Amino acid sequence: MWVQRTLTLPASRRGFHLMTSRIVDAMPEIGSIQTGMMQVFIQHTSASLTINENADPDVRTDFETAMNHVVPESLPYVHTLEGPDDMPAHVKASMMGASVQIPIGGGRLKLGTWQGIYLCEHRDRGGARRVVVTLMGE
């Protein structure tokens, strides 16, 4: 069984944002998969996806602090035409990754208790973001 759907996530401010419910709600077929996998793939290069803590919003705030420290805007970049936030956004996107793959078992995502799916918006004004969600399994 294969299901694939493209979703548009509305524009988010720069930072890290929980998207689990929005994605799960769009994919009711998860419930009919006994064993399988869900992939979420973002079709952009300055926003990304990751899995992390789903409870305390401070964690998402601190992610932004940490990633700005790890990939500073002040490095001697050549690609600067789109603003100082652009090139760090590309690097952060590759560090976090363009996709997440989550196992499905018994009709549910097998996320741990504290895990959620983050949209990582690395641009100051990134606009809406498209993700392709693919389910596979039996």
Both tokens of residue 33? 């998969």
Q: Are 71 and 134 in contact (CB under 8 A)?
A: no
Choose the stretch contacting a second copy; rule: CB under 8 A; options: 7-15, 23-31, 83-91: 83-91
Decide if residue 18 touches a second copy (CB under 8 A).
no
- Site for a second copy (CB under 8 A): which residue of 11, 21, 62, 83? 62
Q: State the nearest-atom distance from the C-beta of 25 to a second copy, in Å.
A: 20
Closest CA to 115 of 127, 105, 126, 100: 100
- Site for a second copy (CB under 8 A): which residue of 29, 32, 98, 107? 98
Q: State the nearest-atom distance from the C-beta of 83 to a second copy, in Å.
A: 13
Helix (H, G, I), strand (E, B) or coil at 18: strand
**What are the strands of the beta sheet with 108-109, ordered from one edge?**
2-9, 129-137, 35-42, 99-105, 108-109
Both tokens of residue 44? 């952009």
Decide if residue 51 touches a second copy (CB under 8 A).
yes
Helix (H, G, I), strand (E, B) or coil at 34: coil
Helices (H), the chain: 20-25, 57-70, 86-96
Decide if residue 111 touches a second copy (CB under 8 A).
yes
- Which parts of this chain interact with a second copy (CB under 8 A)? 2-4, 6, 34-37, 39, 41-45, 50-53, 56, 58-59, 61-63, 65-67, 69-72, 75-79, 87-88, 90-91, 93-103, 105, 110-115, 118, 130, 132, 134, 136-138
